[in-house]
Structure 1
Amino acid sequence: MRPDAVRSSSDAAWEAVGLPPLTGRVLEYLIGRPVLTRDEIAAALGSPAEAIGEALGALEAEDLVVRTGSLPTCWAAGPPRSTLGALLARRRQELARTEQYVEQLQEVYRSVPARRVSSDLFEIVESAEQVAARYAQLLASSEHEVLHLAKPPYLNLPAPVAEESDGLSDAPGPEPDLPEGLRFRSVYDSDGFTDETSLRTALRGTAMGGLLRLLPGLPMKLVVFDETAGIIPLRKEDPAAGSVIVHASPLLEALRALFESVWERATPLYLGRTDGQPLPERARSERDGPGGRTRDILDLMAAGLTDGAIGHALGLSRRTIQKHISETADVLGARTRFQIALLAHERGWVGRT
């Protein structure tokens, strides 16, 4: 492991027990040596003597180091298992008191007349602005995966973080500051995947490493954050009417299961551009197959997009899209779009490689 990685890991450990990084490094250095003066520690760590003096004072206050000698003053660390064990015990007691206080604050939160919190499992937020704010909070606290079922109508308010991830908002904005390693999986309703908002939102989602699929007739809008919370709208046709936040419970598990069921049935869609420009043409990948642009059109057809939506994604006119489809039908000997999709699948023309 690289030294800077080790330092980062140890700094995080010290911060977890309430010690600033420099203070923790002073203690680490002293643990490996018998006694040292302030100036010797400062020279070894390359830090100002005043800062080292403050760190030593903080360690002494926590009974982690002791003074030895007087001219000059020397410092020694105590046995880590006993001294740090005592510090951890004090921190646990403080955390326990904080948890009790949090419960008191929760009761105060629930008692506010304008707030609708029926239990610890459910929370109702009634305005579009509150929905966007809670979304941003839950997104920032997520660590592993965020799941979306996205369909119109979308919220229309300046909440960029909502739009970036699942189309809760129609307003453009900067990329959100997302936790490192967070994964997105989104299913869009292909019946509503026909406007600029849906495509722009999907492009931004894939730009953040998200996986995208399409399926007609999605049952509902849904966002699930890890295994801790989910958001569903109060009213199917009016997202501005507010949402229900479902916290960890069997209901949240059922919502996750619903998403996985939809995900399995949905068609993967690969969107490669993030700047609002048309998708680049894919290279020809099969000797006797259609050209790259026709294969792109077949992929989007298989995903259920209309000619208008396909044209918007590829930067082509509706007439051009229809020309490609007509020529493909002639090659395949197909008379309907369904036959085109079926025969294209059989020949391996559908599916981005």
Structure 2
Amino acid sequence: MDGMPDSAWSGTGLDPLGGRVLEYLVTVASADSAQVAEAVGVSVATAEAALRELVEASLALRVGGGSARWAAGPPRASLGALLARRRAELAGAEALVERLHEVYQEVSGPRAAHVVEILEHEEEVSARYSQLLKGSTSEVLHLAKPPYVAGPRAAARDLDVSDGVRMRSVYETDGFTDAVSLETALRGTAEGGHLRLASRLPVKLVVFDRTAALLPVRGDRPAAGSLVVHSPALVEALVALYESVWERAVPVSLAGLREELGPAHGDAVPGSAARPAVPDARTREILHLMATGMKDDTIARVLRVSRRTVQKHVSEAGAVLGARTRFQIALLAAEHGWLEGRP
């Protein structure tokens, strides 16, 4: 006999066997227990138990005088009343869940604030990062890769650390030509910090004095917000992650790179007599985009010029700086202030 699936009966609070028995009863005027048992494929005793449950639920009634027989009640009225009771029960359950959730938030909210802060806006992230950095007294651990939520100017402004604070940074190799990465690295190493490069970083992360950590909510969308972690156990786990990345990363000496470029450029600093002339606006625009990691083809499409024009400007900038690679060009361009602001 075809009828409602068992899953549909579970929504009424009626068990599947009771549903099958009721489906059979509505097709006949009345039936005894043996007929019901045969129709639904169970023993007579099992059928009688199901029939008694239907009678208690006002879905069936016993008819006849001598031998017991059963008949279904009007389905719309009897099942309608059953469903109304179920809806009332569900509404009560939903209200209970809401009350429990309100109590949970009242109790857990203050606790959570001591474990993790949620920063939803870029301004909050920048301000909290600056506060934590300036408040550090011993060590800052840094896993860095673009894009930067706070933007180049804000990031450059917040680089200062207190005297005596040791800064260890690992930069992702592909993103190290970013202007902020270069400026951060130059200032950090100049103040006694240590720098390493890795081909791929698992997450952007800053750990302050091993007591707090800052990381994005979503690695693919830094602007989606950040977390400040205070839980000692979580911070310890993040420090372990950092140390494993640090051990595999390759040490880099920017001083060694300056020596490699030669004394004419290794000793040049912004504002010195050896500083080359600032290039034209087009060259600076191209260097800006190159420093963000863009390839020549992409830069050409963005600026609506030919790829050859892009390469010409980059080559000329390299000749002026005495640099032989794109990395060296980006590094020295940042040192000479060519990447500050947009032309």
Give the TM-score of the pair, scaled to structure 1.
Answer: 0.43
The structure that has the greater radius of gyration is: 2
Structure (1/2) with the larger helix percentage: 2
Q: TM-score when scaled to structure 2? A: 0.44
